[in-house]
Each structure stands twice: as structure tokens, then as C-alpha cells.
């Protein structure tokens, strides 16, 4: 019978499918974990006793180790009397034979070794990388801690560090391989796992942005950059690295024809898909060119509140002109965050829709507008309020979407409001305003 | 006319431009009803306080301090008097005996310069006295932290970040530097309950009143602290009897507008600190050749933020310590103000520790306000101390050049940077008057202005506070000695005898009250 240790993302030792770690003391578990990860190797008793009882005399530490081993053996024998898991090859050493042990850590190491050896075989490499990725359910011995064993803690921290570094390297490689197969969606999924481990890792973000760009989704790439930039400033007080800034600048300069799919998108103005429906909902835009007016507009926008069951999506909040679709992507991103933060039980199809919308590249403009509108209408909130903090910076497609949303929405559940700083010029917004100026439920207020 | 208080027989130092010799101040309904001579006694009736010739001043401003962090310091261990590692361990042991239920131990104000070993402790040392409770110790300016093993475990900071230190045996020492320390501090703030955050509130307010502080500019949020401190403090405003002007250290104008704040920043780090070798200087650090510190913004990014906030009509404060940092900030302010000129913007530079003559002139020409910390000269200045070590003797003579700055006409608001330094304006006055570099010394009156008139100006409050004049808020203090005539080296011994806030007597010194 195999003794199994699951040490990635928690601590669990099972024998014949039954958990035994709950029957063993903390230090006993620490010892067993150490021996399992060194299965097939002789471990000095003296080393083990020092690892666990370094502040004790040698005699006392040895006594404690003997007792802990007795307890472990007792549990193991009670579950499987016919196998001697814990052997004593010599008087001063202990060993668990390799054939009796499986651990996720060792398996993870093995898959890692294998992919490194299978340099020229893509299929094999992918299999190894995916298998390894599936095993890493969290950090080494996450949640497992013994208070007064500093040397064991050092061992634990070093192992945790090694595994984290290995995971970082493996996931990056996996994403790279998936990218080479043009499977950017899955590449991004793998990178997102890394981002959860270290959410301010700029290298990981650099690759994520690249994936978005390669899949033709410049708006998502720019949005991701802006969010990283915001968090780096807020949490670490720094700017993104020079590499990332350079990448961002190049994204801005990129003509949208350079991104693969955008050029295929029809111009909404020429399509006849939109049907006019009598609006029954609100639209409120403030505009001013004076500092005082702008200040008042900002405060007014903050004060706009609706029912407690309103989902507010803040978009275009920081300065800087937006690229096409960026505002739409911010709405998609806001919806995703809403589901994550509220852990709402959204129907699976909503997540799929959001995923598809994250990868807008396969969709034409009308599909994007339609599917996002539909998602908003099926939201678990009474009202959705989209606050556009700087509509003067907003891209044309996103302004078109607001127009579409306003006209298309059937219920009274969407409020669109925003600020226009007249010191800037946004022709699309001016058209938008003209189109809605005489709507009963729309208001354009000057400060 | 009946009034609340008549303070008689005082030496009234109103700090107003055209102050007359006054010896009586009349307070009523939170304001100064009258100020003048004996004739006022015939006009007003009320509770008379005979000052016996004591000096009366406007209540002090502390124009840059971290209030929530100062609250927290009350429940933290202060290591400012530790002289060796064993002292630190003993203090932790004592703390654990005194507060066995505390779920986290936070130590602060530790400078390796003051320790015999000239190094921070390691986690292995901390584990010996605190194995089962997380311990986090911050260096004096927060740029290095030390965690014990348990904190290292529960904080869960990914080991893939490059800021962990390891020893020769490849073991983590528990020391985390630079940006890593910010991450660790965030984790600590997240672990600390709101109750723990404000547990020291009343003690801090009491101490501020004892030091004569009636208005503070609280610099909260930002990478060194936590954005949750802002709403936390907003919720506490009604329980705090002194005025708190909140500076939210963020570049997200949206956040600031949400709280209807008229200002943004405070500690938006353009560069770091000398202690951490990341204040951006023109010439290499004395003890780290080839290294000139770090700029955390580039020109365009900083300009984008400042321009946007400026257009929103917000007062802006940005942290700039070293010459290179100051230069970049001046360049950006200059560019923005050239494109969008605005009278009376009162944008600020926080710290301004090592400016050159040209930068002082440029700051004056731009109409900038400086928030500076004179007590740095007391705590960082000694032989072999921080300024000396990092900048070298010659260059360190140029730090905090108050004389030149005052002569250029710039308004300097006196600040403590609490809880890095104690909030104690009289100590600040002492430090500015007794600046170790004689050429940088200023007069007592000029130093007092930093903590009164200038503080009010830096917060757009000069019409209601900062001087003792009829109609202004009755924020005033009584000193036990005449600060204008006491020997310069004795200024720090002057004590606040009474503090009035909004006409209420909130602090009276009793005999034996230690400072």
C-alpha cells in the first residue's frame, strides 16, 4: 500500500486512501513529511532530532524523536501491519523505501525534470508541463506551521521558495508553448495562475499583455497595463519597468489595423442592426471647462447613488486618451471583478461570455455590443450604473457602445453618466451628445 | 458682554503681521472675541485665567504627519532606545508578558545605526522570544522590515520577489528590503483589526494637545501605509477634538474626489530616503559609491498626474528628498504651471531635504509651499549618524537649509513626519533655531511661523487660523516660559501649559507632567 503525501496547497498524508496525518502530532507530521520527501535516502536520526528539537539537549531531542517515531509507526501499523514503512537501515539512520511513497512534490519535480529533458518533443513537453501545472494546487505546506521549530521552518521556507521558482519557470514555459501554438486564451489562463501567486510580477504581466496583443486584443492589453500601473503605484510606489512602459508606448502607437481582427469589424454607423426603442432609462453627462466646474462635476458624479443594489462600473477614470475598445474592455473587466469579489454564483454561461469578451478578437463589433448588453441585462443587480469619469478621453467604439446600450436596453436598469472636460475635444462624444440631447431621459448639464 | 474665557496678564504673541502689544485675549463661542490691553476687562465678563506673564501663541500646526500610523505606534514597541539586539529581544519578551493577548507584535523606530551590532536583528533571533505570534519590526523610515518565522509564514509573501535577504547558509534572515518591506507592511495592516488601528487614538490626541498641536495634516494611504487608513480616519474625525486635514497619498484623483478632499498626495514618492539609499541625489552616496538613488516616476508619468490633479483644482503634495528628485519635481511643476497658470495653487514639496540654491529660487518663483521637518537635524545629524554616513560631512552641511529658504520668501510649513519623528513643534523650533550648520539657522520667530501662520497657509486656512486675531478660531496655547527670550539651547525645555481648541481648554499642564 502506498503512502501518499499532498503537500502543495496544504498538508495531507493518506494511506490506502485514508487520511493518517490527523492521527499524528504536528512534529510527527513534520518528520514524516521530511522523510517522505527524502524517500529512498538514509536520513540521520541526529539530523532529524536537531531539525525538530534544536533547543533541547541531544539526549532529550533523541528521546523526543524516538517517541515521535513510535507514534508514527503505531499509526502506520494500525492501517497496514504487513508493511514496515519506516525502516532503520543502520542504528543511526532512518529511511522510507521509495516504493512505498508518492508525493505531489516529487511528482512535480519529476514532471519538471522530464520537460527539461524533452527539449525537441513538443507533445511530450506539453504533457509534462500541463501535468506539473495541474499538481501545483498551492504553495508548499500552505497552512502547515509548527511554532517552535526554527530549523524545520527554514527547511520549509527554502523548499517553498524552490517550488515557487520552479512553478514560475514552468508556467512561463507552458504559456510560451501555448502561445507558439497560437492558443493565447489558454496561455493567458496559465499566466493568470502565476499572477495569483505574485500579483505584481511585471514579467508575468509582460507576457499576459503580449498574449492579448498577439490575439488581437489591444484593448485588453492596454487595460491590463493600466491596472498593473495603478497597483504598482498604489502598493509599491513605483512605475512599471522600462520594458513594460516601452511595450505600452508601442501599443498606443499601433495602428488598429496592425492588430489582427479589428480591421474586420464593421463600422457601427453603417450597420442597420440597431433598432430604436423608446428609452425608459437615464443618461446624465456633466460638462465644463473651468477648474471649479470640473471639481464640482467630479463630486457630483461621486454623489450619484441609486438603489443599494446598484452595480457601479467606473471606467475611463485615469487621464490619457484611450485606444479603440478600451472602455468596453473596462466594462468587461468590471463585470469579471464583480463576480470574483462578490463570489456571486453567476451562471457558467456568464463566465464563458466574459471569457469570450475578454478575447474579443473572434467577434465583430455588433457581436461584442450585443453580447455585452445581454450580459448586463442578465446581471444579478437591480441597476447597473456606468460612470465614465473622462469621456473626453474615451475611444470611439466605446462611446458607440454606450449609445447602443442606451438605445437597446429594454428594462430601466442601466444608468450611464459621465464627465466631459471641454478643454479637450472628442468629436465622437459631441456626435453622441447631439444624438441624445433631446431624449427625455437624457440630461447634459453644464457647470 | 458675557464670554467664555478672559486670558489676562499674558504675553500675547499673535503671529499676525501687524501685531500690537496685547496682554489679554477674550474667547467666546469657539472664536477669539477680542485681543488687546486692560481696557477689555471693562467690556467683557467671563472666566478669568491669570497667565502671570506667560506667553500665548496660536495653536500649532503639524503640517505633515501620519496620524493612523501614530495611533498604531501606541500599541507598538518603540525601539528608539534600544542599544543592542538583546535590548530588542528583551523588549519583545516584556511586551508579550504585558500584552499576552495581542495577536501581532509590531516594532518600530529601529535604526541599525544606534545598535552596537550596527545591523537589524534576524528572524532566528526573534524566534527565540516570539515563536508563536507574528512579529514585524520596521526600520525608522519603514524601508526595511524584519519578520520572525511565523510572520514570514502567515504573510505569505511570494519568495520569488527579489527583496528577501539570505545569509551565507542560504537561510532567510527575515529581513526584507525596499519594495518588499511595503508588501510586508501591507500584510501587517491587513492583519491588524480596525480596533487595533485606532486603539491608540485618545493617547495620541492627548499627547498632541500636550504639545500644543491643534491642527494636523494627516498624510495617509500610499505605498508605505494602507488605503484603508483613509476611510478609517474619516470615520474617526468626530471623535478627534483637533482639526485633521487629510492628504491622501494616491495618484488616483477619483479616490480623493470621493472624499471631497481639496488636496492630493503628501507622500507620493518621487524618490525615497537617504537611509535607504534611494533618495535621488546628484552625486553618489558617500557609503555606496556609484549609487545615486532612485526616481520612482519619469517626467511624463509625473506630469500626467500633476497636470490632471492641477486641472481638477486640487492642491498637490509630492515627496522629494534628494536634489535629483527635487529637480524633476520642479521641472514638472514648472511645465504644468506654464501651460495652465493658476494663482495661489499652493502646491507643495514634502521634505525638500537637500536642495541647491537654484532649486530654492525656482521653488520660490513657482510659488510652491514646502513641508519640512526640522527635527531631522536633531535625530539624523550626529557624528556617524545617518546624514553623516550617507552624504559625507561636507554634503550633509547642506541638508535642510532653512535660512536660505526663508530668505527666498518661500512659505515653509513645519512638520514632524510622525510617527517617524515625534510630533513636537517646540522641538521642531529648537531644531530649526539650533541647526548644526549655523548658516542654516533661523530665528525663533521664523521657526514659530513655520508651525503657525505657515501651517495655516499651507492648508488654505489662514483666514480662520494660524494667528491670534479677532474673529479667528480660538485655537491657542500658553507656554510656561517666554520662548522668544529663552536661551536657544534651552528652547526644547519650554513646555505647553495650556491648549485651547475652538475655545475649549483641552489641556492644562499639571506640575510634574513630563514632556
Chain A residues with CB under 8 Å of B316 CB are none
Q: What is the mean pLDDT of residues A80-107?
A: 95
Count CB neighbours of A213 within 10 A: 21
Q: Which of B172, B257, B301 sits opposite A299 (nearest CB)?
A: B257
Q: Which of B160, B186, B312 sits opposite A198 (nearest CB)?
A: B160
pLDDT at res. A443? 85
Q: Which of B131, B152, B307 sits opposite A157 (nearest CB)?
A: B152
How crowded is the C-beta side of B14, counted as CA atoms within 13 Å? 22
Return all residues near B94 (Cβ < 8 A) that are at least 6 apart.
Answer: none
CA distances from A31 to A19, A45, A71, A138, B128 (A): 16, 10, 11, 21, 21
Q: What is the mean pLDDT of residues B65-90?
A: 95
**Cis peptide upstream of residue B317 (ω within 30 degrees of 0):** no
Q: What is the mean pLDDT of residues B108-126?
A: 92
Residue B511 has pLDDT above 80, yes or no: no
* Alpha carbon A403 to chain centroid, angstroms: 31
3-state secondary structure of B147: strand
CA distance B347 to B367: 8
Burial of B250 (0-12, 13-18, 19+ CB in 10 A): buried
Residue A362 has pLDDT above 70, yes or no: no
DSSP assignment of B385-444: SHHHHHHHHHHHTTSS-HHHHHHTT-EEEE---TTSS---HHHHHHHHHT-SSGGG---H
3-state secondary structure of B235: helix
DSSP state of A236: I
Percent of chain B with pLDDT over 90: 89
CA distances from A272 to A366, B429, B500 (A): 10, 74, 72
Chain A residues with CB under 8 Å of B145 CB are none
A-contacting residues in B 182-201 (Cβ below 8 Å): 182-183, 186
CA distance B455 to B39: 32
CA distance B22 to B505: 20
- Between chains, do A233 and B223 touch, taking CB under 8 Å as contact? yes
User: Which long-range contacts does A50-57 make (Cβ < 8 Å, 24+ apart)?
Assistant: A50/A151, A51/A149, A51/A151, A51/A152, A51/A155, A52/A27, A52/A149, A52/A151, A52/A152, A53/A149, A54/A149, A54/A150, A54/A151, A55/A148
Count CB neighbours of B39 within 10 A: 9
Do A362 and A368 contact (CB within 8 A), yes or no? no
Do B413 and B458 contact (CB within 8 A), yes or no? yes
Q: Where are the beta strands (DSSP E) in A289-331?
A: 310-315
CA distance A366 to A368: 5
pLDDT at res. A273? 31
Closest residue in A to B154 (Cα) is A143
Residue A104 has pLDDT above 90, yes or no: yes
- Between chains, do A153 and B124 touch, taking CB under 8 Å as contact? no
Rg (CA), chain A: 29
Per-residue pLDDT band at B478 (split at 50, 70, 90): very high
Rg (CA), chain B: 23
Residue A243 has pLDDT above 70, yes or no: yes
The pLDDT tens digits of the residues spanning B455-464 come to 999 999 999 9
Residue B398 has pLDDT above 90, yes or no: yes
Percent of chain B with pLDDT over 70: 99
- How many pairs of residues across A and B have Cβ atoms under 8 Å apart? 117
Return all residues near B260 (Cβ < 8 A) that are at least 6 apart.
Answer: A299, A302
Q: Which of A161, A319, A423 sits opposite B304 (nearest CB)?
A: A319
Chain A residues with CB under 8 Å of B301 CB are 239
- Between chains, do A150 and B131 touch, taking CB under 8 Å as contact? yes
The pLDDT tens digits of the residues spanning A46-73 come to 999 999 999 899 999 999 999 999 999 9
pLDDT at res. A381? 81
Per-residue pLDDT band at A252 (split at 50, 70, 90): confident
Per-residue pLDDT band at A280 (split at 50, 70, 90): very low
- Between chains, do A291 and B170 touch, taking CB under 8 Å as contact? no
For chain A, give the mean pLDDT.
87
Residue A274 has pLDDT above 50, yes or no: no
- Between chains, do B172 and A314 touch, taking CB under 8 Å as contact? no
Closest residue in A to B166 (Cα) is A158
Residue A154 has pLDDT above 50, yes or no: yes
ipTM of the complex as predicted: 0.88
Residue, of B389 and A272, whose pLDDT is higher: B389
Do B386 and B274 contact (CB within 8 A), yes or no? yes
Task: Give the minimum alpha-carbon distance from B296 to chain A in angstroms, rounded to a whole number.
Answer: 5
User: For A409-413, A442-446, B269-273, which range has the lowest pLDDT when averaged over its residues?
Assistant: A409-413
Residue B352 has pLDDT above 50, yes or no: yes
Query: Helical H runs in A304-364?
Result: 326-342, 348-358
Q: Is the pTM of this model over 0.90?
A: no
Q: What is the mean pLDDT of residues B6-30?
A: 92
CA distance A385 to A403: 14
Do A143 and A201 contact (CB within 8 A), yes or no? no
Chain B residues with CB under 8 Å of A322 CB are none
Amino acid at each position: 500500500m502506498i503512502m501518499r503525501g499532498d503537500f502543495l496547497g496544504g498538508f495531507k498524508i493518506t494511506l490506502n486512501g485514508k487520511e493518517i496525518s490527523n492521527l499524528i502530532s504536528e512534529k510527527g507530521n513534520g518528520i514524516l513529511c521530511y522523510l517522505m520527501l527524502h524517500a529512498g535516502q538514509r536520513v540521520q536520526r541526529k539530523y532529524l532530532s536537531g531539525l525538530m528539537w534544536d533547543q533541547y539537549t541531544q539526549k532529550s531531542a533523541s528521546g523526543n524523536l524516538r517517541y515521535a517515531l513510535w507514534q508514527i509507526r503505531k499509526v502506520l501499523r494500525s492501517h497496514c501491519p504487513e508493511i514496515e514503512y519506516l525502516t532503520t537501515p543502520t542504528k543511526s539512520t532512518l529511511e522510507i523505501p521509495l516504493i512505498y511513497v508518492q508525493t505531489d512534490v516529487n511528482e512535480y519535480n519529476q514532471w519538471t525534470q522530464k520537460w527539461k529533458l524533452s527539449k525537441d518533443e513538443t507533445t511530450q513537453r506539453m504533457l509534462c508541463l500541463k501535468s506539473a501545472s495541474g499538481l501545483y494546487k498551492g504553495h508548499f505546506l500552505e497552512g502547515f506551521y509548527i511554532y517552535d521549530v526554527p530549523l524545520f521552518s527554514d527547511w520549509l521556507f527554502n523548499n517553498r521558495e524552490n517550488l515557487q521558482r520552479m512553478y514560475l519557470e514552468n508556467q512561463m514555459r507552458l504559456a510560451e508553448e501555448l502561445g507558439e501554438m497560437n492558443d493565447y486564451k489558454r496561455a493567458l489562463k496559465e499566466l493568470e495562475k502565476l499572477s495569483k501567486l505574485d500579483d505584481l510580477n511585471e514579467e508575468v504581466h509582460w507576457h499576459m499583455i503580449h498574449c492579448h496583443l498577439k490575439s488581437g486584443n489591444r484593448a485588453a492589453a492596454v487595460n491590463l497595463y493600466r491596472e498593473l500601473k495603478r497597483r504598482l503605484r498604489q502598493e509599491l510606489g513605483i512605475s512599471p519597468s522600462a520594458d513594460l512602459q516601452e511595450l505600452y508606448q508601442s501599443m498606443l502607437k499601433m495602428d488598429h489595423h496592425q492588430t489582427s481582427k479589428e480591421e474586420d469589424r464593421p463600422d457601427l454607423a453603417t450597420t442597420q442592426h440597431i433598432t430604436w426603442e423608446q428609452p425608459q432609462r437615464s443618461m446624465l453627462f456633466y460638462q465644463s471647462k473651468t477648474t471649479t466646474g470640473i471639481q464640482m462635476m467630479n463630486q457630483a458624479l461621486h454623489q450619484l447613488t441609486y438603489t443599494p443594489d446598484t452595480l457601479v462600473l467606473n471606467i475611463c477614470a485615469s487621464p490619457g486618451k484611450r485606444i479603440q475598445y478600451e472602455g468596453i474592455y473596462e466594462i468587461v473587466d468590471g463585470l469579471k471583478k464583480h463576480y470574483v469579489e462578490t463570489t456571486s454564483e453567476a451562471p457558467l454561461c456568464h463566465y464563458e461570455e466574459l471569457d469570450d469578451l475578454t478575447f474579443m478578437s473572434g467577434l465583430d463589433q455588433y457581436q461584442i455590443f450585443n453580447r455585452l448588453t445581454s450580459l448586463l441585462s442578465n446581471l444579478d443587480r437591480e441597476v447597473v450604473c456606468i460612470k465614465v469619469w473622462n469621456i473626453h478621453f474615451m475611444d470611439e467604439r466605446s462611446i458607440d457602445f454606450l449609445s447602443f446600450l442606451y438605445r437597446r436596453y429594454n428594462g430601466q436598469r442601466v444608468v450611464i453618466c459621465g464627465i466631459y472636460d471641454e478643454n479637450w475635444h472628442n468629436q465622437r462624444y459631441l456626435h453622441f451628445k447631439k444624438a441624445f440631447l433631446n431624449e427625455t431621459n437624457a440630461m447634459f448639464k453644464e457647470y | 458682554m458675557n464670554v467664555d474665557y478672559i486670558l489676562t496678564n499674558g504675553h500675547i504673541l499673535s503671529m499676525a503681521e501687524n501685531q500690537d502689544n496685547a496682554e489679554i485675549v477674550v474667547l467666546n463661542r469657539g472664536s477669539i472675541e477680542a485681543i488687546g490691553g486692560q481696557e477689555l476687562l471693562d467690556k467683557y465678563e467671563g472666566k478669568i485665567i491669570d497667565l502671570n506673564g506667560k506667553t500665548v501663541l496660536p495653536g500649532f500646526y503639524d503640517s505633515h504627519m501620519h496620524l493612523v500610523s501614530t495611533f498604531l505606534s501606541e500599541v507598538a514597541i518603540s525601539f528608539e532606545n534600544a542599544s543592542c539586539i538583546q535590548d530588542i529581544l528583551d523588549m519583545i519578551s516584556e511586551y508579550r508578558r504585558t500584552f499576552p493577548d495581542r495577536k501581532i507584535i509590531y516594532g518600530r523606530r529601529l535604526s541599525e545605526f544606534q545598535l552596537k551590532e550596527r545591523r537589524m536583528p534576524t528572524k532566528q533571533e526573534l524566534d527565540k522570544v516570539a515563536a508563536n505570534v507574528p512579529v514585524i519590526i520596521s526600520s525608522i523610515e519603514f524601508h526595511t522590515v524584519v519578520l520572525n518565522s511565523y510572520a514570514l509564514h502567515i504573510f505569505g509573501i511570494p519568495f520569488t520577489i527579489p527583496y528577501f535577504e539570505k545569509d551565507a547558509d542560504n537561510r532567510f534572515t527575515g529581513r526584507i528590503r525596499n519594495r518588499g518591506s511595503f508588501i510586508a507592511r501591507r500584510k501587517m495592516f491587513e492583519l491588524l483589526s480596525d480596533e487595533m488601528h485606532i486603539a491608540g487614538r485618545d493617547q495620541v490626541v492627548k499627547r498632541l494637545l500636550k504639545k500644543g498641536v491643534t491642527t494636523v495634516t494627516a498624510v495617509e494611504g500610499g505605498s508605505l501605509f494602507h488605503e484603508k487608513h483613509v476611510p478609517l480616519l474619516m470615520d474617526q474625525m468626530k471623535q478627534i477634538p483637533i482639526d485633521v486635514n487629510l492628504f491622501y497619498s494616491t495618484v488616483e484623483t477619483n479616490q480623493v474626489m470621493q472624499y471631497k478632499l481639496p488636496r492630493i498626495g503628501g507622500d507620493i514618492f518621487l524618490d525615497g530616503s537617504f537611509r535607504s539609499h534611494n533618495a535621488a541625489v546628484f552625486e553618489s552616496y558617500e557609503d555606496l559609491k556609484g549609487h545615486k538613488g532612485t526616481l520612482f516616476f519619469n517626467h511624463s508619468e509625473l506630469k500626467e498626474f500633476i497636470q490632471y490633479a492641477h486641472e481638477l483644482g486640487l492642491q498637490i503634495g509630492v515627496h522629494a528628498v534628494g536634489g535629483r528628485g527635487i529637480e524633476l519635481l520642479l521641472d514638472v511643476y514648472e511645465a504644468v504651471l506654464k501651460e495652465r497658470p493658476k494663482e495661489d495653487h499652493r502646491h507643495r514639496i514634502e521634505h525638500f531635504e537637500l536642495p541647491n540654491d537654484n532649486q530654492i529660487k525656482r521653488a520660490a518663483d513657482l510659488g510652491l509651499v514646502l513641508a519640512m521637518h526640522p527635527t531631522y537635524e536633531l535625530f539624523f545629524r550626529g557624528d556617524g549618524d545617518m546624514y553623516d554616513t550617507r552624504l559625507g560631512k561636507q554634503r550633509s552641511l547642506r541638508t535642510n537649509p532653512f535660512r536660505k529658504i526663508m530668505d527666498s520668501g518661500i512659505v515653509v510649513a513645519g512638520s514632524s513626519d510622525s510617527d517617524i519623528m515625534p510630533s513636537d513643534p517646540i522641538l521642531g523650533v529648537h531644531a530649526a533655531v539650533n541647526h548644526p550648520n549655523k548658516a542654516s539657522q533661523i530665528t525663533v520667530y521664523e521657526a514659530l511661523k513655520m508651525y503657525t501662520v505657515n501651517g495655516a497657509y499651507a492648508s488654505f486656512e489662514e483666514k480662520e487660523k494660524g494667528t491670534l486675531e479677532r474673529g479667528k478660531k480660538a485655537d491657542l496655547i500658553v507656554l510656561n516660559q517666554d520662548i522668544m527670550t529663552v536661551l536657544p539651547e534651552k528652547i526644547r525645555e519650554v513646555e505647553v501649559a495650556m491648549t485651547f481648541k475652538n475655545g475649549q481648554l483641552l489641556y492644562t499642564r499639571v506640575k510634574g507632567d513630563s514632556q
